Amino acid sequence: MLLKLPTETISIQEIPIHKNVKLFMKREDLIHPQISGNKYWKLFYNINHYLERNPENPFVITFGGAFSNHISAVSAVGKLSGIPTLGLIRGEELQDKWRDNPTLLFAKRNGMNLKFITREEYRNKEKLAEFLTHEFPDALIIPEGGTNQEAVEGVKMMLNNKTKDFDYLCTAVGTGGTVAGISRFCEDNQKVIGFKAVDDSSLENKIRELTLKKNFDLIDSGFGGYGKIKDENIRFINDFKESYGIPLEPVYTGKMMQKVTELIDEGYFPENSRILCFHTGGLQGIEGANLLLEKQNRKLII
Ligand SMILES: Cc1ncc(COP(=O)(O)O)c(C=O)c1O
């Protein structure tokens, strides 16, 4: 079955911050509880072009970390479309502990086969992908985070007539496919800002190769590094949910929105700028984050 979800539910919601700029969020997180946000758009052509080729033994293989939103989404797509899936997961130590991890448990319940590989093997995943192509010639092998040219094409659908109305388009950055797609297909007068959740110096070149444009800036929203959650992040995410009714997760969207509001306070954006932030989903990650945080008497509101 082809991957096609109703996307009419996606709205652009104003965040009434009472500052000298206007701030909005595009709620891609509302597409689907499990295949949400940029994951849907990045997988859209990858999965559908593959299925249209009518593979004899459809099989999807991909890569990710223990709390990966991408792994979670691919497993859900596999279940929905009836395709067997294999997730190659970073960290062999998870072999005996995956049941304690809500993301991996969810993937497994969706029928995803999990194989745990060492960090060394994971670093060489391109080599592994080559090997798998020989082993499973019929399989679709999707890179980490789903980022490739087809993902970039899919992200084009996050843009429409309504998004043309903004001066700044903001998104969180992990593997770079989302910001590349927005940069490639937005209007010439729009400026794109990618908020980096990872400290990876190769990202800028990778994004440039995917977008072929120079209309984007990358800003570090690390707050201490990938996946690190500070008390100020928790306070921000919980206040945001309480004030505006929008849930954010701590790795990508929470840090992006916190950084955007800091930049607004610092006067980074010219007066009367219209700023649109894409809510890229990933809310499944909150449960796993809370399992770690609760041991320290901290908690994110879902
Ligand atoms: C919730 C969320 N936001 C943003 C991103 C970053 O997207 P990309 O990997 O395309 O840079 C990810 C990772 O896919 C994510 O899970």
CA of 175 to the centre of ligand 1 (A): 7
pLDDT tens track for 187-245: 999 999 999 999 999 999 999 999 999 999 999 997 888 889 999 999 999 999 999 99
C-alpha closest to that of 168 among 269, 263, 266: 269
**190: CATH:** 3.40.50.1100
**Cα–Cα distance measured from residue 96 to residue 98, given in angstroms and rounded to the nearest whole number:** 6
Q: What is the mean pLDDT of the chain?
A: 96
pLDDT tens track for 46-104: 999 999 999 999 999 999 999 999 999 999 999 999 999 999 999 999 999 999 999 99
Q: Are residues 163 and 25 in the same domain?
A: yes
Residue 142 has φ and ψ, to the nearest 5°, of: -100, 130
- 36 given a catalytic annotation: no
Domain count, the chain: 2
**In-domain check, residue 301:** no
Task: Establish whether residue 174 lines the binding site of ligand 1, counting it when its CB lies within 6 angstroms of any ligand atom.
Answer: yes
Query: Phi-psi category of 180—alpha, beta or left, where left has phi over 0 and alpha has psi -120 to 50?
Result: alpha
**Whole domain around residue 259: which residue ranges?**
12-33+154-294
Q: Are residues 213 and 83 in the same domain?
A: no
Minimum-distance ligand 1 atom for the alpha carbon of 181 = 10
- On whether the CB atoms of residues 194 and 204 are closer than 8 A, the answer is no
**In-domain check, residue 2:** no
pLDDT of residue 302: 77
Task: Establish whether residue 37 lines the binding site of ligand 1, counting it when its CB lies within 6 angstroms of any ligand atom.
Answer: yes
Minimum-distance ligand 1 atom for the alpha carbon of 151 = 10
Q: Are residues 181 and 105 in the same domain?
A: no
pLDDT of residue 9: 77
Residue 229 has φ and ψ, to the nearest 5°, of: -120, 115
Q: Is the dihedral of CA 238, 240, 243, 245 positive or negative?
A: negative
**In-domain check, residue 302:** no
Can you give the C-alpha Rg of the chain in angstroms?
19
